[in-house]
Amino acid sequence: MLLNGYARCGMKGDSWVITNEFQRKQLIEAINEKDFGEFGFNVQIKTGQRTLAQNNSMHQFFSLLANELTDAGLDMRTTLKADTELPWDAQMVKRFIWLPVMKALTNKTSTAKLDRKEVSEIYEVIARHMAQTHSIMCPFPSNEPPL
């Protein structure tokens, strides 16, 4: 079945790319019309890779958090390791905060391999930890105008 040019048929069945609500409703209708057959359905939902805007925001967040940590008098020794006395910078935030949380949550080792949802999940863990342990609130940068 073809949904506005977004359905693809393969050996194991149809593949759908859904980018709007209309297409989502068409897919649901198509699923409801299909027989379960002997084995039913296998549904896999994937989000797209993180966007260039998300990448830029991540790196801006690294700088913002580095400034917040430094301004709060929290060097790396205070925040992470007792034997290191270094002020924070964006690369250290990425290396010592973002990447370990990313690895723990996603088992990925490169920010380039993150999908859109994972970027938000990693930020939320870091933001919650910084707020609870150091009273630092650092919003994730966005191109969205403030409300």
pLDDT of residue 119 exceeding 90, the answer is: yes
Both tokens of residue 46?
């994937």
98 in Cβ contact with 87 (< 8 Å): no
In the predicted model, is pLDDT for residue 118 greater than 90?
yes
pLDDT surpassing 60 at residue 42 = yes
Q: Which tokens go with 9? A: 């048929």
- Say whether 72 sits in a helix, a strand or coil: coil
Segment 55-85, tens digit of pLDDT: 898 999 999 999 998 888 887 766 666 665 6
Determine contact, residues 79/134, Cβ cutoff 8 Å: yes
Chain center to CA of 69: 22
Q: How far apart are CA 118 and CA 102, in angstroms?
A: 8
Question: Model-level pTM greater than 0.75?
Answer: no
In this prediction, residues 121-139 reach a mean pLDDT of 93
Nearest partner of 75 among 26, 7, 134, judged by Cα: 134
Task: Determine the residue type at 14.
Answer: D
For residue 129, list its beta bridge partners. none
